[in-house]
Amino acid sequence: MKLQGQHIYLRFLSPDDVSDAYVAWMNNAEITQYLESRWSVQTLESIRAFVKAVADSSNDYLFGMFLKDTHQHIGNIKIGNINPHHHYGDVGLIIGDKASWGKGIAAEAISLVTRYGFEELNLNKLTAGMYEHNVGSYRAFIKAGYREVGRYEKHFFYQGRYVDAFLVEKCRQTSTLSNSTLL
């Protein structure tokens, strides 16, 4: 299955997709500066185990991002922590190919995976959180139709100090409550 965009397509990632280039992204301090995986060294084996664990999970979906013209694997996007009762999940992504930064690819991937979450997984809401300094990610989510809903103050330890986390969300449908509903 492929989710087709204008510049990229998404498909489920398998352990066979884990390459030396992927491992290099995950061990590059600039690329992973806003990821929790930055705290440990990654290997082919550890990343393959992660990809397999996500593939085996019923609450997580990991997609690779591939350029349409070259089929180059440039990053990943995941819907995870799906709550089957309340129908929400979290979105997280990495673009490991620095030549693909700043080209609108993250927003395109977010839009594609959001549509998948709403239409195929029947989710009602998707959320994401990011370090306050991660302006590129924040802009990509806003461009993809998410809205900022709050901040966690001094939530992440980054470059020797605590920084805020920005929280965004997108709902498939909005419901309005009347005052009588709340009484």
Architecture of domain 2-182: 3-Layer(aba) Sandwich (3.40)
- Cβ–Cβ < 8 Å for 17, 73: yes
- What DSSP assignment string belongs to 19-57? -HHHHHHHT-TTTTTTSGGGGS---HHHHHHHHHHHHH-
pLDDT in tens, the chain (183 residues): 899 999 999 999 999 999 999 999 999 989 988 887 777 888 999 999 999 999 999 999 999 999 999 999 999 999 999 999 999 999 999 999 999 999 999 999 999 999 999 999 999 999 999 999 999 999 999 999 999 999 999 999 998 999 999 999 999 975 444 444 444
Q: Is residue 74 within 8 Å of 23, Cβ to Cβ?
A: no
Place of tokens 């809903």: 149
Q: How do strand 147-158 and strand 125-131 relate by DSSP bridges?
A: unpaired
Nearest-CA neighbor of 89 among 59, 119, 110?
Answer: 59
- Where along the chain do its domains lie? 2-182
**What is this structure's pTM?**
0.90
